[in-house]
Structure formats: structure tokens, C-alpha cells
């Protein structure tokens, strides 16, 4: 399977503060990577660095053989990086329809396909972004990333703070986007088992370093190892 994303020797952070140290990872075309770790270990910084929103001190990022590390974030989007940040960053004063059409690029993912995946958005397409619930805003943020027709989708905690029924709906949609549609993705999430179940690879960060890299299925099958890597203690009955 052809390599899509390659990150080599990545050292990055915010201003002079270095958060990530010598990060290396790769992702094949059509695969999904679960990016795990405790809070404050550098997961969001890594997503933001791939998207172009941090200061890169050292290292290289390529997508489909194209160097990204020297590009500003808007050019990375044009090169095929679809980014759904933790804060969603939808346009609150634009309608759902306008949020989608303002950034859409030609390709398989159109606003209509987004509405088919998220019927809630179809029903609210004339609503302003700030008139949506948290779950609907997350659906819109994902839809807006899809309509740029990316090669790689970056999702930063897409399930955070949402009701269980919305979590199930979003997990189903993400699985369809990645597993059935074959879009490559990196997903940061605090619900590791849920994301490992729909991922191919898993990377665990700690203090800005990669401490584990391997098969998502293998890590899901070893809950004790997963707990150890995430610093979780199991209670003894």
C-alpha cells in the first residue's frame, strides 16, 4: 500500500516552546491512525503541526510526496489536508449551506453528500452556525473538511463533550468515511477503544515523544498495555 503521509524528525511547538521532540510516523493511503496519549502529551500539537498552525523547529512533513513543512496552512488545505480542530472553528454568522459552499472544492465530496451523511444538517441548512447544537457543529466541521476533498483528514477529539447518541452517530460516520470511502485519517480521541476499533494503526505520545507505534487491533486486544501507556490504573475488585 502506497505511503501517503510521512513525518520525519519533527520538532515543533509554539513560539520558542518546544512540545514535540523528534517525532516520526507514516500513514499509508486509505488507512486510519489513532493518535493517543494523556492530556498534555502533544497530540493536538502534532495535529496542528501537520495542519500548519504551529512553529516547526526541525523535521519534514510530506503528503503524497509533496513537502508540506514550508507551506502556510491554507496551502496545506489546497494540497489535501482536511483539518477539524478541537474548537471546530465553523463560521458562526454563516448558514450551514454557506459554511460548506464557502470552502468547497471540486471532487467526490459535495455539500449534498455531506447532507446525505448527516441528515440533521440537511434539515438545518439555512440555520446559522451559532444556532446549531454542539453535535451539529461537529458534524458541520467534519462536513466542511470533507468538501475540500482532502487526501488526509485530521480529527482532533471529534467526540468530546457530546451526548452518547451523537457519539454513536459520529463514530458511524467516521467509520464510513475512512473504512468504506477509504479516506486516510488521523484521529485524536480520549475514547481509545472506540477509535482503535475503526483504526489500522495506533501511535501513543508521552511528553512529546512517540512511546508506542503499531497495529490498532493489537493494542485494542491488550487493554493492560493500553492502560499502562495511557497511565491508567485498573481498580482491583
State residue 190's pLDDT score. Answer: 84
State residue 235's pLDDT score. Answer: 38
Percentage of the residues of the chain whose pLDDT score is greater than 70: 97
Q: How far apart are CA 226 and CA 231, in angstroms?
A: 8
pLDDT digit string, tens, across residues 60-96: 999 999 999 889 999 999 999 999 998 888 999 999 9
Q: How far apart are CA 184 and CA 199, in angstroms?
A: 10
Residues of the chain whose pLDDT is less than 70?
232-237
Contacts of 11 (CB under 8 A, 6+ apart): 18, 20, 21, 22, 23, 56, 57, 58, 59
State residue 236's pLDDT score. Answer: 36
pTM over 0.75: yes
Quickly count: other Cβ atoms within 10 Å of residue 17's Cβ: 10
State residue 228's pLDDT score. Answer: 92
Q: For the domain that residue 100 is a member of, what is the CATH number?
A: 3.40.50.300
Please report whether residue 90 resides in a domain. Answer: yes
Q: Range of 12's domain?
A: 3-230
Q: How far apart are CA 172 and CA 159, in angstroms?
A: 12
State residue 232's pLDDT score. Answer: 58
Please report whether residue 236 resides in a domain. Answer: no
Please report whether residue 145 resides in a domain. Answer: yes
The DSSP symbol for 41 reads: S
Domain count, the chain: 1
Please report whether residue 35 resides in a domain. Answer: yes
Please report whether residue 176 resides in a domain. Answer: yes
Amino acid at each position: 500500500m502506497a505511503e501517503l503521509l510521512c513525518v520525519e524528525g519533527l520538532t515543533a511547538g509554539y513560539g520558542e516552546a518546544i512540545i514535540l521532540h523528534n517525532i516520526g510516523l507514516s500513514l499509508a493511503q486509505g488507512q486510519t491512525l489513532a493518535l493517543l496519549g494523556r492530556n498534555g502529551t502533544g497530540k493536538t500539537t502534532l495535529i496542528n503541526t501537520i495542519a500548519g498552525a504551529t512553529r516547526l523547529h526541525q523535521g519534514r512533513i510530506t503528503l503524497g510526496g509533496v513537502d508540506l513543512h514550508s507551506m502556510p496552512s491554507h496551502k496545506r488545505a489546497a494540497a489535501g489536508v482536511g483539518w477539524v480542530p478541537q474548537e471546530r472553528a465553523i463560521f458562526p454568522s454563516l448558514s450551514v449551506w454557506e459554511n460548506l459552499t464557502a470552502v468547497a472544492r471540486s471532487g467526490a465530496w459535495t455539500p449534498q453528500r455531506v447532507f446525505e451523511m448527516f441528515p440533521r444538517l440537511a434539515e438545518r441548512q439555512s440555520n446559522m452556525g451559532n444556532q446549531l447544537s454542539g453535535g451539529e457543529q461537529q458534524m458541520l466541521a467534519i462536513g466542511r473538511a470533507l468538501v475540500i476533498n482532502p487526501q488526509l483528514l485530521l480529527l482532533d477529539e471529534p467526540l468530546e463533550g457530546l451526548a452518547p447518541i451523537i457519539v454513536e452517530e459520529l463514530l458511524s460516520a467516521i467509520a464510513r468515511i475512512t473504512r468504506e470511502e477509504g479516506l486516510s485519517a488521523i484521529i485524536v480521541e480520549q475514547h481509545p477503544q472506540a477509535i482503535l476499533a475503526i483504526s489500522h494503526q495506533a501511535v501513543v505520545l508521552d511528553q512529546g515523544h512517540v512511546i508506542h507505534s503499531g497495529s490498532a487491533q493489537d493494542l485494542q486486544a491488550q487493554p493492560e498495555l493500553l492502560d499502562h501507556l495511557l497511565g491508567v490504573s485498573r481498580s482491583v475488585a
